[in-house]
Structure 1
Amino acid sequence: MSKAVELIPPRLRAHVLGAGLHAAFALPRPLRRLIAGAPRRIDGQELALDAQLLLKMQALTGSTQLTNGDAAGSRALMAESTAIVDRAPLPGVAVGERTIPTPDGELAARLYRPQSLTEHSPLLVFFHGGGWVIGDLDSHDDLCRYFAKAAGVRVLSVGYRLAPEDPFPAAFDDAMAAFRYAVERAEELGTQPDRIAVGGDSAGGNLAAAVSYHATRAGGPKPAFQLLMYPALDATVRRRSRDLFSSGLLLSDSDITWFLDQYAAPGTDRTDLRLSVLLADDLSGLPPAHVVTAGFDPLRDDGEEYARRLAEAGVPVVARRFEDLIHGFGNVRQAGTRFNEALSEIAGTLRAGLALGGGA
């Protein structure tokens, strides 16, 4: 980040950078292309103009980092990035703060409900992304509001414990406790026990997949559906996409290594199925799934291999690669049209999956 920008107080800096970002996205397409540069192509895919413009604007302001080697500093970077992209809260959604009791203490949570929804509805228990280290209820507030309104469901967003203060398996334990809480308190949450889905993005997708697997194998209530957005599912194997998209596309190869080292430090058994569910021998009987990947994402091949394995095991699965987008596109909905289009499709699949599969 330039010295001049660094001198601006953080809150004002986010406002200034946000105004510049949204002004750039409001320009006519030829001017946006001029700023973004020539189309970028990798692996037979062309990066969406909106995604390329976002990356270019980040580069121009010097705010290209997702991590900076320090948990507190990395969390501050994400908070500022959220403030830059997000403008006004999405209207038409009622939001209530809650706490979830667990054996390890209370978790902060938020319950989202479309204001027009008064009857019982499906519920999505949502786990935010951020490498198990960064991110929180605020960083994913817009995404949860959007899913609630666009899919016509309630959303319970869970503030699970973060590493390195609380390393593996703390986040998994919290995610399991949150799902069980939702089942036990279904009536209070405005839903029914057999209409509760789990979902998340990136590390949150990892938690949603792990909850789905372990709840199923435990033989008790299991999710009605799992929404996995560009999930991290195997901490042991380096797949081709991680080399293809190792830098310059928001999530980098070095970010992935750093996040894993914070959550599951060297010496941790990374083959544990609470972390690397893709290593499970048997995926049969798991809830129907929507596995979303992004074409320009180092984690792309993790998600697509998992979708293939689910289908092989007879699990109903919709696998969707948005080949022109980058990791984390769910968090930049307010920046550009292409991100909205993708999320609209995902919300539609979530709505349909719960309508067809809830209670199955």
Structure 2
Amino acid sequence: MVLYLQLVVPRGSRQRRVMELFLGIFLAGLTSLVAAAFYYEHPKAEVPHGLSQRQKLYFFHYILNFTLGLAKFLEKVGIISEVSFLRTAMEGIPPLREKHLFIKDLSFERVPVRIYQPKASTTGQSRGLVFFHGGGGQFGSIRAYERMCRYFARKSNSVVVCVGYRLAPEHPYPASFEDCLSATVHFMKTAQDYGVDPSRIVVCGDSSGGTFTAAVAQELVNRRDLPKLRAQILIYPLLQYVDFDLPSYQQNKGVPALLKERILVLSLKYLNKDLSLMEAIFKGCHIPEDLQLKYQKWVSPDYIPHEFKKRGYKPRTTHPFSKELYTLVKPLFDTVFSPLLAEDSVIAQLPETFLLTCEFDVLRDDGLLYKKRLEDHGIKVTWCHLQEGFHGTIFLATYGGVIAFRSGNKGLEKTVDFLRLM
């Protein structure tokens, strides 16, 4: 527009003055919008030097923070709610038409699902993959994870079911988990209708979807009316709310995309609790002494290998317990939120597991602790650790091109390699 003004519209003309006025107003508004966005979500990035794509991650972090800040600003001025804006933004660019898959939208027990079936499948029964998307129980959707599900279906020749579970705050806890469980049970009972071998069903999810995956797998271990799950795939899952001072939380608290404080912001909003509780939870004031002693068997920095403490670790400081706080956030210790806290009798019955962790992710040690628990009970674990990985890298990889990171591409390949063996 500026070039058009300079080359086409005569200087001093009324048309030019009007256009310059509107251009000035537009630029002033845009500048104010950018300033407001960063005011409401100040970027706090601590990207380690060990990353070879540091500048790219910095750029992604700034875009993310701008989007988060813009969402808060737009809600503040009454244009659109923060949740609605972020959900729309997460939908992303829709993928092109798919030539290799049959895609169909259905409902399993009133839960929306989208099924991806490879066209080139043989007449024999395929493996099935039930996928739960991430997003902290408030964001994400079938549409947002369309690319990832297509990728898994094409590359592993699997029938993929993406579950569109209900989201908070409209549908409070435990609606999301109930939908994930209901859809999985329905698919396990009707798998043959979709050309799937009931003994080859895998559950999978990333981030909070990984939490739901672990929780669903645990819920199903005592079901005698269903076939056993073939495997579970946990992609950088959130597995406990006991200790926010594990080495990975200290080392990666400011690494994009999941800053340490964002975990509790999302979780407390999911439970419709006040964010003022965050500081006390981070200090561990929400855990009674008896539970603290019980959980130490499973959640302790002593069980994190020394190699993961080299980037820095200071032992946790003890703070007084608050009964009021415990009462408010007690659901955080439910195994739906904290699958790592399940009893040994449950852990011992879990299926074969693929577990993906990222070095530069606050949730890294959740995965390491769960890996230890599973292996201690004889569960076979295939572990993929991305040395340059960060939270969200797998999701970004499905977009390819300049958006993808090498760590995410590697993680996708390793996940598919595991699936093909099921």
Give TM-score, length-normalised by structure 1: 0.79
Q: 1:61 to 1:110 in 2, by over 3 A?
A: closer
Give 1:142's aligned residue: 147
How far residue 110 of structure 1 moved from its aligned partner, in angstroms, is: 0.3
Distance 1:81 1:240, change over 3 A: same
Whose Rg is larger? 2
Q: Which residue of 1 aligns with 2:236?
A: 230
The counterpart of 1:286, out of the listed 337, 350, 370, is 350
Aligned with residue 404 of structure 2, among 326, 336, 341: 336
Q: CA deviation at 1:89?
A: 5.8
Q: Which amino acid aligns with 2:381?
A: V
Q: Which of 101, 118, 121 is matched with 1:117 structurally?
A: 121
For residues 77 and 259 of structure 1, the distance between their equivalents in structure 2, rounded to whole angstroms, comes to 13
Q: Is the 8 A contact 1:167 1:262 kept in 2?
A: no
In structure 2, runs of 5+ residues without a counterpart are 1-27, 35-45, 274-327
Q: Cα 1:62–1:91, aligned 2, differ >3 Å: closer, same or farther? A: farther
**Distance across 2 between alignment mates of 1:316 and 1:52:** 37
Is the CA contact 1:197–1:223 (under 8 Å) kept in the aligned structure 2? yes
Distance of 1:288 and 1:304 partners within structure 2? 16
Q: Is the 8 A contact 1:241 1:299 kept in 2?
A: yes
Aligned to 1:174: 179
Counterpart for residue 243 of structure 1: 250
1:345 lines up with 2:414 in the alignment: yes
- CA-to-partner distance for each residue in 1:137-186, whole Å, 9 max, x for gaps? 01111011111111111110001111122222211111111111011111
Q: How does 1:5-84 map to 2 (within 5 A)?
A: 41=48, 46-49=50-53, 52-59=55-62, 63=66, 65=68, 72-83=81-92
Name the CA distance, whole Å, in 1 between partners of 2:69 and 2:225.
Answer: 38
CA RMSD of aligned residues (A): 2.8
Once the two structures are overlaid, the 10-residue window that deviates more, 55-64 or 246-255, is 55-64
* Deviation of the 1:47 alpha carbon: 1.9
Match of 2:318 in 1: none
Secondary structure of 2:386's counterpart equals strand
The CA deviation at 1:81 is: 4.6
Task: Please give the per-residue CA displacement for 1:38-58, whole angstroms capped at 9, x wherever unaligned.
Answer: x9536xxx2242x64143145
Q: Could you report, residue by residue, the CA deviation over 1:91-119 in whole angstroms, capped at 9, with x for unpaired residues? A: 52321111111xxxx11110012221243
- In the TM superposition, 1:175-190 aligns within 5 A as 175-190=180-195
The verdict on how the C-alpha distance between 1:61 and 1:271 changes in structure 2, with shifts beyond 3 A counting, is: closer
2:294 corresponds in structure 1 to none
RCO higher in structure (CA 8 A, sep ≥6):
1
SS at match of 1:193: strand
| Aligned residues of 1:92 and 1:149 also touching (Cα < 8 A) | yes
Instruction: Give the match for residue 276 of structure 1.
Output: 338
Question: Comparing 240-249 with 137-146, which one deviates more in the overlay?
Answer: 240-249
Q: Which residue of 2 aligns with 1:260?
A: 267
Contact 2:47 2:255 in 1 (8 A): no
1:97 corresponding residue in structure 2: 105
- Distance 1:213-1:173 versus aligned 2 partners, 3 A rule: same
Question: Which AA in structure 2 matches 1:179?
Answer: T
Displacement of 1:303? 1.1
Q: What's the counterpart of residue 22 of structure 2?
A: none
Do the aligned partners of 1:66 and 1:255 also contact (CA within 8 Å) in 2? no
How many residue pairs get matched?
313
Q: Is the 8 A contact 2:240 2:341 kept in 1?
A: yes
Partner residue, 1:21: none
Deviates more, 1:257-266 or 1:151-160: 257-266
- TM-score, normalization: structure 2? 0.68
2: CA distance between counterparts of 1:58 and 1:303?
Answer: 23
The code of the aligned residue for 1:96 comes to K
Indicate conservation of the 8 Å contact 1:64/1:250, yes or no.
no
Unaligned 5+ segments in structure 1 are 9-38, 355-360
Percent identity at matched positions? 30
